[in-house]
Structure 1
Amino acid sequence: MSGKKREHPKEKSKLHARSKHRGRYDFKALIIACPELESFVALNAYDDLSIDFFNPEAVKMLNTALLKFHYNLDFWDMPSNYLCPPIPGRADYIHNVADILYRSNPEILDGRIKKNGHIKCLDIGVGANCIYPIIGATEYGWNFVGSEIDKKAIEAANKIVFKNEYLTEKVEIRLQESSRDFFRGVVKEGELFDLTICNPPFHASIEDAQQGTKRKIKNLKGEKAKTILNFGGQSNELWCEGGEIKFIKDMIYQSRQYKDSCLWFSTLVSKESNVPGIHKLLERIEASEVGTLPMGQGNKISRVVIWTFKSKAEQQDWQRKRWRLV
């Protein structure tokens, strides 16, 4: 029996103002863009069209539909058991760092930013889903290098790139042979980037990852819920020795060695308790400017920490020499 029809807010106000995902999912439009989604859509207990978000195949198909509808992709797919990202949250990362990149330019008009094909980004750990390059290239015209240590993930990401003509001109996937390195082995001699982005492994061990999933499922569906890794994920995507904080601190130390190669460095930080220590480390290694960009999607709150080793004058000089808004 259906429950009472729920009243929903017109917009998801926690998402960035330029996000294409502030409204509720328009399943009718999404099915037109991706007919395969229809078999996963049904009325829920509140007479709303929805999918079972505990079904990995349904979530994957919803992502496919969102990418086709909002970002004009011809093809998107990824191997099973790899991280299937929440697209609204990933888009928010790109929109928030875009605000920092363009803050000194007058091109922002009514919340819209003109595309800029001069900007080049490094996605550290691009993954099989290639989601950040897809959004950044489509929304802002940026160019991307995506680094990855997993050869199967590289194969999947390249398949996405090669099957979408626009991406072939914008995205290059490179193998990172060392799991200890973030920039060395990927950044070529003399190569410059305007921005690096990263979605670090969250957990410190596979056991920690499994316990976290159990807690999440229990909170959402009660004691008898099955443990389903809803968004999948390989070991290097979900956990690393020392967890998120060690991963980020190692990346920060190495970023100092590449301070002349990049304008802005950034990373997603899931645990709020890690932020003060990250800021202290960035102060200790003499970053010129550090910021934390809050993000929210539903009940989930996260943030991006962004830093640069260049002064305001050096940032402006970099932009004059490297790129201009067109």
Structure 2
Amino acid sequence: MQKQSNLANKTALHQRNKHRQGYDFLALCETLPDFTPYVKPNQYNNLSIDFADPMAVKLLNKALLLHYYQLSNWDIPSEYLCPPIPGRADYIHYLADLLAYDNNDKIPVGKQIRVLDIGVGANVIYPIIGRAEYNWSFVGSDINPISIKAAKLIIQSNPLLNGFIDCRLQRDTSAIFRQIIKPKEFFMLTMCNPPFHDSAQAALASNQTKLKKLGKLQYSKSNPALNFGGQQTELWCKGGESALITNMIKESTQYKQQCLWFTSLVSKKESLKVLNKQLITVKPAEVKIIPMAQGQKSSRFIAWSFFHQDKRREIIKNHQGNSEGIKQTSVS
């Protein structure tokens, strides 16, 4: 292996994102030797992997989680979603900034900062990063029992995660918060990365476009699985992301006193018009749209709260206890 890694600066990522300098493949191979056979020089003579190869992508994720996020073990069932970690980390860091917005530019840290991850998946990526970076605790919900089982196995096999992440099966596929948020529970944040495709055909077409850009269209012809994997419920839902988030907004009114900020990623900019109309009907105290970017891709998440800022500040202060906040460099 050549002594060269891909360390191109990804300045679009959040300033606290550990992956702003790209992937240090040499260090990752040292952390996870099983990853080494998949790392080779690309056409620019930089070390890289075949991003159309599901096993290469899976081992990249495992190496990143072991190297940067203090895990000792991580695995997911075949053909389940294996998401790009830098973008997932960005969502967590921007959520931390959102809490800092109500806390004198200090990020609240510690187990008492509880987050609800809607659609936690088999990979448990968001709770892993949130626990490693800010010591937050999580409840992760999912409608897929196999995902919940796989997530629990990851938690059980990592001392870092034990006692910090609770996985709950959502048995009502029409519900989001109902049957997940228990009476008297309080969350600082809810988060969600909803499926943005509205059909299986749209998901497959998107995958073929990705593989064509990678010069690997033959993968989609011989194997319909996405290069990052994914079950049906992870990739598409009826009505796409705008329908799911609209339902989330409606249901959030039933739990307005049990969550400081409700949030969701919004992949398609055109979805915002529909969501803003729905938010007007539920009359939150504040709405924020936070822009994000990974490489050439722009994204965002929407956040709404039924508490005014003075009350939010009071709630965060009461939940911090004796934990020290991390002074952040800027507030988004």
Shorter-normalised TM range: over 0.9
The correspondence of residues 1-326 of structure 1 with structure 2, limited to 5 A, is: 10-106=8-104, 108=106, 113=107, 115-221=109-215, 225-227=218-220, 229-324=226-321, 325-326=323-324
Q: C-alpha deviations, 1:9-67, integer Å up to 9, x for none?
A: 85211000000000021111111111111010011111111110000000000000000
Offset at residue 107 of structure 1 (A): 6.2
TM-score, length-scaled by structure 1 = 0.93
Offset at residue 70 of structure 1 (A): 0.5
Aligned partners of 2:12, 2:281: CA distance in 1, in Å?
32
Change over 3 Å in CA distance of 1:47–1:136 after alignment to 2: same
Aligned partners of 2:257, 2:145: CA distance in 1, in Å?
29
Change over 3 Å in CA distance of 1:13–1:203 after alignment to 2: same
The total of aligned residue pairs comes to 316
Most deviating of 225-234 and 289-298: 225-234
Residue aligned with 1:250, SS: helix
Aligned partners of 2:247, 2:273: CA distance in 1, in Å?
16
1:107–1:114 CA contact under 8 A, matched in 2: no
Offset at residue 114 of structure 1 (A): 6.7
The aligned counterpart of 1:3 is: none
Gaps of 5+ in 1: 1-5
TM-score, length-scaled by structure 2 = 0.91
If asked which structure has higher relative contact order (CA below 8 Å, sep 6+), I would say 2
Q: C-alpha deviations, 1:269-295, integer Å up to 9, x for none?
A: 111111122122112210111111111
Residue aligned with 2:292, SS: strand
Residue aligned with 2:101, SS: coil
Offset at residue 208 of structure 1 (A): 1.4
Aligned partners of 1:30, 1:145: CA distance in 2, in Å?
29
Aligned partners of 1:69, 1:81: CA distance in 2, in Å?
24
Aligned partners of 1:276, 1:185: CA distance in 2, in Å?
29
Q: C-alpha deviations, 1:175-205, integer Å up to 9, x for none?
A: 1101111111111111111100001011111
Q: Which amino acid aligns with 1:85?
A: P
2:111–2:135 CA contact under 8 A, matched in 1: yes
Offset at residue 318 of structure 1 (A): 1.5
Q: Which amino acid aligns with 1:15?
A: L
Aligned partners of 2:23, 2:184: CA distance in 1, in Å?
44
Q: Which amino acid aligns with 1:32?
A: E
Aligned partners of 2:42, 2:310: CA distance in 1, in Å?
55
Aligned partners of 1:185, 1:313: CA distance in 2, in Å?
30
Aligned partners of 1:29, 1:301: CA distance in 2, in Å?
29
Aligned partners of 2:27, 2:282: CA distance in 1, in Å?
49
Aligned partners of 1:10, 1:199: CA distance in 2, in Å?
27
Residue aligned with 2:160, SS: helix
2:102–2:309 CA contact under 8 A, matched in 1: no
Residue aligned with 1:266, SS: strand
Gaps of 5+ in 2: 325-332
| Structure 1 vs Structure 2 CA RMSD | 1.8
